[in-house]
Amino acid sequence: MKKNKIFVACDTSNLNQIKKIIKYTRTTKLDIIPKFGLQFFYSKNGRKFLENFKLEFFLDVKINDISQTALSAMDSLKDLKKLRYITVHVNGGLDMLKAVTNRAKKINKKIKVLGVTILTSLNNKSLKEIGHTKSVEKLVLQQVNLIKKSGAAGCICSAKEAKIIRKKFKNFFIVTPGIRLPGDKANDQMRVLTPKEAFKNKVSAIVMGRSLIKKNIKNNVKRLIDHLN
Mind telling me the catalytic residues? 62
State how far the Cα of 148 lies from the Cα of 145, in Å rounded to an integer: 5
Dihedral of CA atoms 139, 145, 146, 152 in degrees, nearest 10, equals 130
Non-local CB neighbours of 149 within 8 Å, separated by 6+ positions? 94
Helices then strands, counting H and E runs in the chain, come out as 11, 8
Residue whose C-alpha is closest to residue 169's, from 199, 147, 200, 196: 147
What gap in Å lies between CA 78 and CA 71, rounded to an integer?
Answer: 11
CA gap 47, 105 in Å, rounded: 22
CB atoms within 10 A of CB 10: 28
- Cα–Cα nearest to 84, from 45, 31, 30: 31
H or E element: which one contains 24? helix 15-25
Q: Which of 80, 4, 15 lies closest to 46 in space, CA to CA?
A: 15
Amino acid at 5: K
